């Protein structure tokens, strides 16, 4: 009888080991608060809409592979869908303003590329709209070098979002200058 239990016990141990899964790592586009977002003067900005390409608008982190490949990472996730993460990060950066000047912001992300060890890129068209209906349409292409880890990549994308918020703030504070370069 003890001899018959040993193979059964071995099979059970092997099955349990095969069922083990890697832990899921969660990332965010909202950095730890180390300083206030950009100054937007006496304006209050409402994020009206964020659009992200469907290939990357998911909770799983998507990275580029080569010239045409995409890899959906099963153990690295955003804290929410990418569009919700971007919305939260922009609210964090631009949502502190209060005042009589009410503005709406719409962001259409054209590209959201992530290449660990190379760079993080956000290319977006955005529209800043005054309550009067006047608006300005701009385009931003933000690229930040990234280290080899997913943490490095998330930090690079955080920097891209911060730079986007700074560009929006430039237009809010001086709309006569037009879009930033």
- Tens of pLDDT, residue by residue over 23-77, are 999 999 998 876 677 888 788 999 999 999 999 999 999 999 988 899 999 999 9
pLDDT at 162 over 90: yes
| pLDDT in the model for residue 97 | 74
CA dist 108 and 81 (Å) reads 15
Q: Averaged over 118-143, what is the pLDDT? A: 95
CA dist 37 and 110 (Å) reads 24
pLDDT at 126 over 60: yes
Q: How far is CA 144 from CA 18, 23, 102, 166, 179, in A?
A: 39, 28, 31, 15, 20
What is the sign of the dihedral through the CA atoms of 50, 53, 58 and 64? negative
| pLDDT in the model for residue 32 | 87
Domain that holds residue 106: 2-177
| pLDDT in the model for residue 66 | 86
CA dist 162 and 147 (Å) reads 18
Q: Averaged over 10-18, what is the pLDDT? A: 59
Q: CA nearest 101: which of 181, 170, 40, 11? A: 40
Q: In this prediction, what percent of the chain has a pLDDT beyond 70?
A: 88
The count of domains in the chain is 1
Whole-model pTM? 0.85
28: domain CATH number?
A: 3.40.50.10610
């Amino acid at each position: 009888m003890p001899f018959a239990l040993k193979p059964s016990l071995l099979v059970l141990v092997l099955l349990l080991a095969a069922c083990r899964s890697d832990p899921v790592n969660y990332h965010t586009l909202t950095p730890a608060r180390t300083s206030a977002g950009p100054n937007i003067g006496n304006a209050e900005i409402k994020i009206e809409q964020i659009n992200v390409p469907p290939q990357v608008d998911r909770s799983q982190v998507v990275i580029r592979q080569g010239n045409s490949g995409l890899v959906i990472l099963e153990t690295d996730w955003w804290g929410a869908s990418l569009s919700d993460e971007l919305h939260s990060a922009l609210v964090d950066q631009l949502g502190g303003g209060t005042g009589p000047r009410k503005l709406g912001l719409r962001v259409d992300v054209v590209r959201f590329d992530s290449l660990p060890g190379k760079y993080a890129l956000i290319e977006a068209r955005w529209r800043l709209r005054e309550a009067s209906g006047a608006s300005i349409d701009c385009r931003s292409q933000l690229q930040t070098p990234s280290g080899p880890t997913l943490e490095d990549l998330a930090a690079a994308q955080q920097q891209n979002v911060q730079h986007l918020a700074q560009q929006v703030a430039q237009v809010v504070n001086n709309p006569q200058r037009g879009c930033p370069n």
